[in-house]
């Protein structure tokens, strides 16, 4: 089944991925594409609608992100923030530097209740811009304003082109999703055919067509992504899939044993568990650079997988749980590289196995829904995300068995206490990280010179953005006391309050 497609053209906006998610939440398939590749993508993909994202630049700058509007002529188009300004600039309107920069919540005054923005149940919208549209292009009607922005929305119903200066995709615009709904279903006349059930049905058929009668090695870690891939592969090709769990020595405390027990209990497939701790530690000896760590771990995973694939007759494929955020952050054509994910940019050129990534275009919340449809238990589906490189990206500096032990013990105390106090329920990810510095302390009237632990707990929807969780001070003080007293080698505990952006969720 060919799904209708909404292409979100990315002009570098911090909320671009969120636009994609909001469209998919309406049951419509969407992808993002950078403005530099937009013409090629529109020509080849023939989208049913286009959304132009926000961005940090000014349309008045030399070399600012641009678009050949003839390519999207006749396609329903919604411009958001920078996209709104670019639409005006390219179609004959006027954009100017604003005398008063708008950032934050503003009150919208609407001129037409029949307009795209006319039926908002709240007048509150979220602005983030320095330029503004001074005059709309010929044929466009101004439909909303604020006290400092004379054209907060405009539209040309005949050409199905719409622009809003504010951000309807963020939660700070309370009824913003209704604008996207009206654009998708009333303007573009799309159908909601992007569902977990359809995804499963189409993925099963695609896997069967690609694999044929070959065997597939499925990399599993016990996390939701690899568990959903394993369930999907098992549904598609049954006993042609062999699941392989590699214990690289960088899991959380007692987790390797729990993964094997849980996995065999849930799936009952062929499962090969490999203890490769010594192999990974040896390759990581002396490595301190984060990117080198990730690439080294990615290579060693492939070494393990290919060694065991050679033992399985007719095994040509490696299935893994790569997600859309992994692809984006690893420097796909849709974004600059933030960090290499071990299962994307960390894969070596020499690997022989052909990679299958059924979840490559899904966000985490979509993966969880697919997992539920496949019948996975809630404790698997709702498991906190855990990075493939494991504690390697939470231990700054060199990886050694002793430093892994310190991090595991501190992490176990923190996460145990979160659950004991019921604070884990609204946390996306929580962990302890070990810094590559030492600090002076006093314990038992003696001087210590040991390492600090950083605790981190964040709320998120899809890992593209995140906010630190406001944990009670008394709780943090209690956890700190436990860690300092029970974990040898630690004399100081910190709590990370940084959001993403500017930080990432993981430390490396």
Tens digit of each residue's pLDDT (9 = 90 or more) over 42-51: 999 999 999 9
Cβ neighbours around 2 below 10 Å, total: 7
Q: Is the pLDDT of residue 446 over 90?
A: no
Does residue 169 have an active-site annotation? yes
Bigger pLDDT: 224 vs 351:
224
106, 170: one domain: yes
Tell me the average pLDDT across 163-183. 92
**Domain contains 505:** no
170, 260: one domain: no
Task: Point out the domain boundary residue: 187, 219, 246.
Answer: 187
Tell me the average pLDDT across 81-97. 94
**Domain contains 49:** yes
Residue-level pLDDT at 387: 87
**Domain contains 195:** no
Task: Point out the domain boundary residue: 153, 187, 221.
Answer: 187
CA distance 336 to 276: 33
Residue-level pLDDT at 337: 46
Tell me the average pLDDT across 215-226. 90
Residue-level pLDDT at 444: 75
Does residue 155 have an active-site annotation? no
140, 257: one domain: no
Residues of the chain with pLDDT > 90: what percent? 66
Residue-level pLDDT at 307: 83
407, 301: one domain: no
Bigger pLDDT: 281 vs 445:
281
Q: Is the pLDDT of residue 330 over 60?
A: no
Task: Point out the domain boundary residue: 381, 402, 423.
Answer: 381
Q: What is the CATH number of the domain that holds 472?
A: 3.30.300.10
502: preceding bond cis by omega (within 30 degrees):
yes
DSSP 126-162: EEEEEEEEEEPPTT-EEEEE-SS-S-SEEEETTTTEE
Q: Is the pLDDT of residue 342 over 60?
A: no
CA distance 19 to 477: 39
Cβ neighbours around 484 below 10 Å, total: 18
Residue-level pLDDT at 266: 73
260, 361: one domain: yes
The tally of CA atoms less than 13 A away on the side-chain side of residue 16 is 26
84, 15: one domain: yes
**Domain contains 90:** yes
In the chain, count of helices (H) and strands (E)?
14, 20
**Domain contains 295:** yes
Residues of the chain with pLDDT > 70: what percent? 94
469, 321: one domain: no
**Domain contains 201:** no
pLDDT digits (tens, 9 = 90+) for 99-115: 666 677 889 988 777 89
* Marked catalytic residue, from 102, 155, 169, 450: 169
Q: Which contiguous run of DSSP H or E holds residue 432?
A: strand 429-434
Q: Is the pLDDT of residue 314 over 80?
A: no
* Marked catalytic residue, from 84, 89, 129, 167: 167
285, 319: one domain: yes
The average confidence (pLDDT) of the chain is 89
CA distance 164 to 146: 12
Give just the sign of the alpha carbon dihedral 439, 440, 442, 448: positive
Which of 102-111, 238-247, 284-293, 415-424 has the lowest average pLDDT? 102-111
pLDDT digits (tens, 9 = 90+) for 6-15: 999 999 988 8
**Domain contains 482:** yes
* Marked catalytic residue, from 81, 149, 243, 315: 81
Strands (E), 284-333: 315-319
Using the structure block, give the residue that is written with the tokens 């998610």: 21
Does residue 81 have an active-site annotation? yes
Q: What is the CATH number of the domain that holds 39?
A: 3.40.50.880
162, 222: one domain: no
Q: Provide the token pair at 417.
A: 């206490």
Q: What is the CATH number of the domain that holds 286?
A: 3.40.50.620
230, 354: one domain: yes
268, 316: one domain: yes
**Domain contains 203:** no
Q: Is the pLDDT of residue 333 over 80?
A: no
pLDDT band at 486 (very low <50, low <70, confident <90, very high): very high
363, 408: one domain: no
Report the residue count for the chain. 508
User: What are the backbone dihedrals phi and psi of residue 500, each rounded to the nearest 5 degrees, phi first?
Assistant: -120, 120
pLDDT digits (tens, 9 = 90+) for 59-72: 999 999 999 989 99
Q: Which domain holds residue 222?
A: 210-381
Q: How many domains, the chain? A: 3
């Amino acid at each position: 089944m060919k799904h209708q497609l909404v292409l979100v053209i990315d002009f570098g906006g911090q909320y671009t991925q969120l636009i994609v998610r909001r469209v998919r939440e309406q049951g419509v398939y969407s992808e993002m594409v950078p403005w530099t590749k937009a013409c090629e993508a529109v020509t080849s993909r023939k989208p049913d609608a286009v959304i132009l994202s926000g961005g940090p630049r000014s349309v008045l700058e030399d070399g600012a992100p641009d678009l050949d509007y003839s390519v999207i002529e006749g396609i329903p188009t919604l411009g958001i923030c920078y996209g709104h300004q670019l639409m005006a600039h390219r179609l004959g309107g006027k954009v100017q530097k604003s005398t008063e920069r708008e950032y934050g919540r503003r009150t919208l005054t609407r001129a037409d209740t029949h307009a795209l923005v006319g039926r908002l149940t709240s007048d509150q919208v979220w602005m983030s811009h320095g330029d503004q549209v001074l005059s709309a292009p010929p044929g466009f009607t101004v439909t909303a304003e604020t006290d400092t922005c004379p054209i907060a929305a405009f539209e040309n119903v005949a050409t199905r082109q719409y622009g809003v200066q504010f951000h309807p995709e963020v939660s700070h615009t309370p009824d913003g999703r209704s604008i996207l709904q009206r654009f998708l279903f009333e303007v573009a006349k799309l159908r909601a055919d992007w569902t977990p059930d359809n995804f499963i049905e189409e993925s099963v058929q695609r896997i069967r067509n690609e694999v044929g009668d070959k065997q597939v090695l499925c990399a599993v870690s016990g996390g939701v992504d690899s568990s959903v891939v394993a369930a999907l592969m098992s549904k598609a090709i049954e006993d042609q899939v062999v699941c392989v769990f590699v214990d690289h020595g960088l899991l959380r405390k007692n987790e390797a044993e729990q993964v094997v027990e849980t996995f065999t209990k849930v799936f009952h497939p062929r499962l090969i568990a490999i203890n490769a701790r010594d192999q990974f530690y040896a390759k990581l000896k002396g490595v301190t650079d984060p990117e080198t760590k990730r690439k080294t771990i990615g290579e060693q995973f492939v070494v393990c997988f290919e060694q065991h694939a050679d033992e399985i007759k007719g095994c040509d494929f490696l299935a893994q749980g790569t997600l859309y955020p992994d692809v984006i952050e690893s420097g796909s054509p849709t974004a600059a590289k933030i960090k290499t994910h071990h299962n994307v940019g960390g894969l070596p050129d020499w690997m022989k196995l052909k990679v299958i990534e059924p979840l490559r275009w899904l966000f985490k919340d979509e993966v969880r829904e697919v997992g539920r449809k496949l019948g996975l238990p809630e404790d698997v589906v709702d498991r906190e995300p855990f990075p493939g490189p494991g504690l390697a990206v939470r231990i700054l500096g060199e990886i050694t068995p002793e430093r892994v032990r310190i991090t595991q013990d501190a992490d176990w105390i923190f996460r145990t206490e979160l659950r004991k106090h019921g604070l884990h329920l609204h946390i996306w990810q929580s962990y302890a990280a070990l810094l590559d510095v030492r600090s002076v302390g006093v314990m038992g009237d003696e001087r210590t010179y040991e390492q600090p632990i950083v605790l981190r707990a964040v709320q998120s929807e899809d890992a593209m953005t995140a906010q630190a969780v406001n944990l009670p001070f008394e709780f943090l003080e209690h956890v700190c006391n436990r860690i300092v007293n029970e974990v040898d080698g630690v004399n100081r505990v910190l709590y990370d309050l940084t959001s993403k952006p500017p930080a990432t969720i993981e430390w490396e």
